[in-house]
Structure 1
């Protein structure tokens, strides 16, 4: 089963949340609608600003754990390499 690692935020260079899922569209919809209790909902992280697809969910989980250990600046640089304007990528998924 494929997996996705993703980063959602509440604003440009704002609070970052890193997650992993097998269904990116559904998961981001849940973030946007406030259906995910916890950190992301508490801080209003609803905008998808970065994601990466992996062929195996286990690889995606490993990547998520790795990214969570990164310094904040490294995460910002990762986002800005592919999304310098911090556009919400949710609508580009289709």
Structure 2
């Protein structure tokens, strides 16, 4: 039986003024895409330079990951900040922690 991996994640810009919530099955690739899209105004993460990973969680099933992403996207910023700080109180850059 194949194991699946899906990730819900939150990135921010260097000034930590913007939060981006997303879902992917390849977090390393997706973070690279965010980094490469810096300055591209047609993409939210690119327009606001949201490439700094500050939170992520694993899901085995895509449906659960999609539901969780939608849930978090519906939250106000304060609740997202509380979620980030529950595992990453200093907003440490987590990109290197998920590299292969």
SS in 1 for 2:46: helix
Number of paired residues? Answer: 94
1:60 to 65, 71, 75: 65
Instruction: Return structure 1 stretches of 4+ with deviation > 6 angstroms.
Output: none
TM-score by length of 1: 0.91
Q: Unaligned 5+ residue runs, structure 2?
A: none
Which residue is 1:8 aligned to?
11
Tell me, what secondary structure is at the counterpart of 1:52?
A: strand
CA contact (8 A) 1:10 1:47 kept: yes
CA distance in 2, matches of 1:16, 1:50: 10
Which string of whole-angstrom CA distances, capped at 9 and with x for unpartnered residues, describes residues 9-50 of structure 1?
003541000000000110011111217851110111010000
> TM (normalized to structure 2)?
0.86
SS in 2 for 1:26: helix
Structure (1 or 2) with the larger CA radius of gyration: 2
Q: Could you say which structure has the greater relative contact order, defined with CA pairs below 8 angstroms and 6 or more residues apart? A: 1
